[in-house]
Amino acid sequence: MRERVAAICGFLFVGTILIGGCSSDRGGGRLSLSEQRDEAQAIQDPAQRSEALVNVAKKYVTAADLSGALDCLRKGTEAAQDIPLEQEAAERVRAYMNLAAAWYQAGDQEYCEKAYEEAKDSLEEVDDPAQKTELLIDLALLKIEIEETSDAAEDLESAQEQSEEISDIYVRIEMLSWVAYGHKKLDDQEEARAVMDLAKDLAKEEEAPGDQARLLAVVGREQISSLADEAAGLETLEEAATIARSIEDNAYLQGSVLVDIAENYLKVGQKENTRQLLNEADEISQGKSECKPVLENIEKVRSQL
């Protein structure tokens, strides 16, 4: 989960992380920043051109050349305007979010706000419910980082509403965990817990015990990793394990689910619980030819302990 936060807000850390230096190699030589800007400007695809220009702007900031950075950002904004809205709405949204973070770092709040408003307007043309939900969450997380917290809360609420249209329950629960994480970033622990409780209720509605256990394991993991609510997370993970242990007449399914839950325990540092479930899965799977993949997965997880 944290990978997305780093991707959204990478520009905001340019002052402390050296991003590629101030020149690049080509044929044994070094390109100046102005040459890199010109190369970026020559890219035909507008989404790629905008991204490349923002990346060069990062290097200008690293070189303490604000004028060069602003020039790249103006050109990057022009490129974003060329992204066709109806055909590539999601790419247009991402381009403007990238620009909003960049303008914020460059100290231009007016252009920052214009960029994220363009991103939000472009979102209206995104049709896929999962993609639209994800972009709303990304926009909210960006706004949290650039201190537009009231707008961020509205975007999280919109993302939660949009998630109701997602047909894949696994994707829906993943998106809800992101919404909860956003509320946690806004210091609204009560709302964050309410969203995760909703995710847990949705997991429990699954009739198939294997799916129910796997989904509860994801919820439990996120309660710990996203909300720092270890008590609730461990309780949910134990519920998942109990359901997995109740699976009958299908050693492969039972073993697989136990291993999946063990992996979620491991992701939140619960090594003893991980070992216990791996041992249970091992005992169930031994001597059964159909369980060979399960045994291989058990060893793979054990190697990480």
Residue 189 buriedness (CB in 10 A; 0-12 / 13-18 / 19+):
middle
With a pLDDT cut of 90, the percent of the chain lying above it is 82
In this prediction, residue 95 carries a pLDDT of 96
pLDDT band per the 50, 70, 90 thresholds, residue 54: very high
Would you list the domain boundaries of the chain? 1-126
Confidence check: pLDDT of 23 > 90: no
Confidence check: pLDDT of 28 > 50: no
pLDDT band per the 50, 70, 90 thresholds, residue 19: very low
CA distances in angstroms from 151 to 136, 141, 266, listed in the order given: 11, 10, 35
CA distances in angstroms from 21 to 32, 64, 76, 172, listed in the order given: 11, 12, 20, 40
Choice between 188 and 87, residue whose per-residue pLDDT is larger: 188
First to last CA, the chain: 21
CATH code of the domain occupying 1-126? 1.25.40
In this prediction, residue 25 carries a pLDDT of 42
Calpha distance 258→219 (Å, rounded): 15
Residues 13-29 have a mean pLDDT of 37
Whole-structure pTM value: 0.84
Mean pLDDT estimate for the chain: 90
- Write out pLDDT tens, residues 115-147: 989 999 999 999 999 999 999 999 999 999 888
Choice between 179 and 5, residue whose per-residue pLDDT is larger: 179
Residues 175 and 166: beta-carbon distance below 8 Å: yes
In this prediction, residue 188 carries a pLDDT of 95
pLDDT band per the 50, 70, 90 thresholds, residue 191: very high
- Write out pLDDT tens, residues 57-92: 989 988 989 999 999 999 999 999 999 998 899 999
Calpha distance 87→129 (Å, rounded): 16
Confidence check: pLDDT of 108 > 50: yes
Residues 285 and 251: beta-carbon distance below 8 Å: yes
Residues 189-206 have a mean pLDDT of 97
Residue 275 buriedness (CB in 10 A; 0-12 / 13-18 / 19+):
middle
Confidence check: pLDDT of 35 > 70: yes
Strand partners for 25: 30
- Write out pLDDT tens, residues 212-263: 999 999 999 999 999 999 999 999 999 999 999 999 999 999 999 999 999 9
Confidence check: pLDDT of 15 > 70: no
3-state secondary structure the chain: CHHHHHHHCHHHHCCCCCCCCCCEEECCEEECHHHHHHHHHCCCCHHHHHHHHHHHHHHHHHCCCHHHHHHHHHHHHHHHHCCCCCCCHHHHHHHHHHHHHHHHHCCCHHHHHHHHHHHHHHHCCCCCHHHHHHHHHHHHHHHHHCCCHHHHHHHHHHHHHHHCCCCCHHHHHHHHHHHHHHHHHCCCHHHHHHHHHHHHHHHHCCCCHHHHHHHHHHHHHHHHHCCCCHHHHHHHHHHHHHHHHCCCCCHHHHHHHHHHHHHHHHHCCCHHHHHHHHHHHHHHHCCCHHHHHHHHHHHHHHCCC
Confidence check: pLDDT of 16 > 60: no
Residues 39-48 have a mean pLDDT of 95
